[in-house]
Amino acid sequence: MDAATRDEIQSKVLTDLEQTPFAASSLKVLSGGTANFIYHANLKKPLSDGTRDVLVKHSEGYIANSPAFNLTLFRCRIEEECLRALSDFPVEGKAELPGDINFTQGP
């Protein structure tokens, strides 16, 4: 995927976040991840718990590192359900994460 297309996706993500509590002043591309676009977002306004930075995971109907390889977005729903199920288990030896898992699906 060429840089212009990645820039377009990043711009789309910023726009999509604009009307949510996760409106970001900037997105920094993070390394890792093959299937999705992963960003560090610096929030315009802190969340109610004071959080100023979040991770944003964006998916398209293909693998981010191999655009010719189509991959259904249904995978995101499965991941969301897995994360919700795992959040019911107690966490030992690590800090608990505040808040809910937020998932939005575009048109």
Q: Could you read off the pLDDT of 41-50 as tens digits, one per residue?
A: 999 999 999 9
Label residue 96 by pLDDT band (50, 70, 90): low
What is the number of domains present in the chain?
Answer: 1
Amino acid type, 21: P
Residue 94 inside a domain? The answer is no
- Asked whether the predicted pLDDT for residue 97 surpasses 80, the reply is no
Cβ atoms < 10 Å from Cβ of 40: 14
Residue 99 inside a domain? The answer is no
Contacts of 8 (CB under 8 A, 6+ apart): none
What's the pTM value of the predicted model, to 2 decimals? Answer: 0.77
10 three-state secondary structure: helix
Pairing outcome for strands 53-58 and 66-70: unpaired
Residue 71 inside a domain? The answer is yes
Residue 16: which of 97, 84, 104 has the closest Cα? 104
Domain assignment of residue 61, given as a range = 3-86
Residue 23 inside a domain? The answer is yes
Residue 77 inside a domain? The answer is yes
Give the pLDDT of residue 9: 93
